[in-house]
Amino acid sequence: MNGPVLVTGAPGNVGTPLVAELLALGAPVRVAAWDVDVAHRAFGDTVDVIPFDFTRPETFGAAFSGVERMFLLRPPQIADVDGVIVPALEAAQTAGVRHVAFLSIQGAERNRIVPHRKIEDRLRASGLAWTFVRAAYFMQNLSTTHAPEIREIDEIWVPAGRRSRTAHVDARDVAAIAARALTEDGHEGRAYTPTGPAALTYDEIAAMLTDEVGRPIRYADPNLVAYWRRMRRRGMPRAMVGVTLGIYMAARFGLAAGLTEDVERITGRAPIPMRQFIHDTREAWTPAARGA
C-alpha cells in the first residue's frame, strides 16, 4: 500500500478509534478534518491533518493527493448524495484513490429511505473498489445523541418500539473492521455487517444502565411524532432527524435484530458487549456530566 490512508469523519465515534487502529497496524494516516484545530488536539502530531469539507471542492485536491485508500463517512447533516458526496468521490477517483471503505448501516441494501443506500449504489457504479461496513446501530449513540435524556430525565428516548430488538455494535469494533479492510488485501467488493454479541430491547438496555449508574433508567418508547418534535427542539437538523427516523423504523419492523460473526471473523476477537460499553462510558450518564 502506497501513501497514507485518508480518514474522513475524524475525530468522532468511529474516526478516532479508526485512526488508532490504522496506526497500530503500521499504516500512515491523513485525517481530512472539517475543524483542523479539533483534529490536532485529538491526534497531536501522530497523523497528517488536512482541511476538508465535502461542500467545498477547493479542499479536495490537498486531501486526496497521493491517496489510494480512503474511509468515507457521510456527515450526518448532508443528505444530498448526488450534489455533494458524488462530486467528492469523483475528485478522489481522478486524484488516484482506488479503494473506498464506506461506513454504511445495517440493512442498507433493503432500505431505500436512507442516503447510505444511494451512496452504496453510486460506489458500485463508480469503478472504484469498495468495501461496505454496514454497521449495526452504534452503542455510542446512547452516550452522545441520546445522553441528555438519560442524564436529565432518566429516560432512553428513541422510537424503536418496546418489542423490537436491536443488534447494537460498539464503534470500536466497527473501526477495527474498517482498518483491516483498508490495510489488507481481499476485502474489495465485500459488505460486512458488524454487530454486537446480542440483540437487545431498549427495556433490557435501560436495566443495564440502571445497574451501572445506580438510579432507575426507563425506556420511554416515544411515538414518531414526539421524537421528531423533541429532536427538532434540541436543534437536530431536519435531514438528520429524518435519517434517524428511517433507522428506527427499520428497528420497529424487526429489521435491526440480525446478528453476525463479522467482528470476530475479521478481527479475531469477540465483539464488545453492551454491558461492557455501558461500564466504559458510564460518566456520560452521570449527573456530573450534565451541561457537558
pLDDT (tens digit, 9 = 90+) per residue, 19-73? 999 999 999 999 999 999 999 999 999 999 999 999 999 999 999 999 999 999 9
Contact 201, 165 (CB under 8 A): yes
pTM of the predicted structure, to 2 decimals: 0.92
CA pair distance 91, 88, nearest whole angstrom: 5
- Length of the chain (residues): 292
Supply angle C-alpha 153, 162, 139, rounded to 5: 65
- Average pLDDT of the chain is 93
Beta 29-33 vs 5-8: how paired, if at all?
parallel
Give the pLDDT of residue 139.
97
C-alpha distances in angstroms, 156 versus 105, 205, 237, 264? Answer: 21, 9, 20, 29
Judged by DSSP in three states, 214 sits in coil
Q: CB within 8 A of 195, min separation 6: which ones?
A: 106, 136, 167, 168, 169, 258, 259, 260, 262, 263, 271
Contacts 24+ apart (CB under 8 A), 121-126: 122/81, 122/82, 122/85, 122/86, 122/89, 123/89, 126/89, 126/90, 126/93
pLDDT (tens digit, 9 = 90+) per residue, 136-157? 899 999 999 899 999 999 999 9
Supply angle C-alpha 105, 106, 112, rounded to 5: 75
